[in-house]
Amino acid sequence: GDSVTQMEGPVTLSEEAFLTINCTYTATGYPSLFWYVQYPGEGLQLLLKATKADDKGSNKGFEATYRKETTSFHLEKGSVQVSDSAVYFCVCMEYGNKLVFGAGTILRVKS
């Protein structure tokens, strides 16, 4: 079946630092890709998505580009804030509309 591999955390950054969280996937066909974020004590929220190759999803300063040639969907943000501290999940929607989640990456931003 399909799988999603995320960089292990926790990732600890200072405020205004540049963020990259790597995500690669294995899938047959052309899956849709998502980044979801989970703040402490809350459910997951969609951060951004891309549904085809070369699409760039963006939201709240975060960006990720669907790279089919490298089967990657890395999350980036130019300047993180303390409020970005959360767990980030890379998600692949495989054939049959089943979601496959990465393990999650904890991000801690220090002021």
Partner 1 sequence: KAGVTQTPRYLIKTRGQQVTLSCSPISGHRSVSWYQQTPGQGLQFLFEYFSETQRNKGNFPGRFSGRQFSNSRSEMNVSTLELGDSALYLCASSPQGIGANVLTFGAGSRLTVL
In the complex, which residues of this chain contact partner 1 (CB under 8 A)? 36, 41-46, 49, 89, 93, 96-104
In the complex, the smallest distance separating the C-beta of residue 77 from partner 1, rounded to whole angstroms, is 20
- In the complex with partner 1, the residue whose CB is nearer, 18 or 39, is 39
Cα separation, 35 vs 16, in Å, equals 21
In the complex, the smallest distance separating the C-beta of residue 98 from partner 1, rounded to whole angstroms, is 5
- In the complex with partner 1, the residue whose CB is nearer, 52 or 98, is 98
- In the complex with partner 1, the residue whose CB is nearer, 28 or 96, is 96
In the complex, the smallest distance separating the C-beta of residue 65 from partner 1, rounded to whole angstroms, is 19
Q: Are 99 and 45 in contact (CB under 8 A)?
A: no
The pairing of beta strand 11-14 with beta strand 105-110: parallel
- What are the Cα distances from residue 17, in Å, to 79, 84, 108, 111? 5, 12, 11, 11
